[in-house]
Amino acid sequence: MREMHAVVHGKVQGVWFRAWTRDVAREMGVTGWVRNLPGGPVEVTAQGSDDDLDAFLARLHDGPPLARVSRIETSRSAVEERFERFDVRV
């Protein structure tokens, strides 16, 4: 089990990016959370196997139909706190 932290830049707020991310994560069996950051980016913390996280990251690059992802900054580490599901944080 690994953890990926990502900051997604572009037109990602006000386009249902968080709800879409939650739905995709749950569909893929990835756990964690997503939230908006001040200034426009979206922050994601996701847990799963490296293969699952790679596939999830590829989906994040696509985003929902109204989003325009310009870049994603990522880092990975060992899991410190295990999440039971994927949630939208406020």
Q: What is the pLDDT of residue 80?
A: 80
- Residue 40: the pLDDT is 98
Q: Could you confirm whether 36 is annotated as catalytic?
A: yes
How many other CB atoms sit within 10 Å of the CB of residue 11?
Answer: 14
For the sheet containing 42-48, what is the strand order? 68-78, 2-11, 42-48, 31-36, 86-88
Report d(CA 20, CA 84) in Å as an integer: 18
pLDDT at 87: 99
Handedness of CA 82, 57, 54, 71 (dihedral sign): negative
Active-site residue, selected from the candidate residues 2, 35, 36, 59? 36
Domains and CATH numbers, the chain: 2-80 (3.30.70.100)
Supply the pLDDT for residue 82: 94
Among candidate residues 18, 22, 35, 89, the one labeled active-site is 18
Q: What pLDDT shows up at residue 81? A: 83
Give catalytic status of residue 18 as yes or no.
yes
- Does the pTM of the predicted model rise above 0.85? yes
Q: CA dist 39 to 10, 11, 26, Å?
A: 11, 11, 27
Give pLDDT < 70 ranges for the chain: none
Residue 11's pLDDT is 99
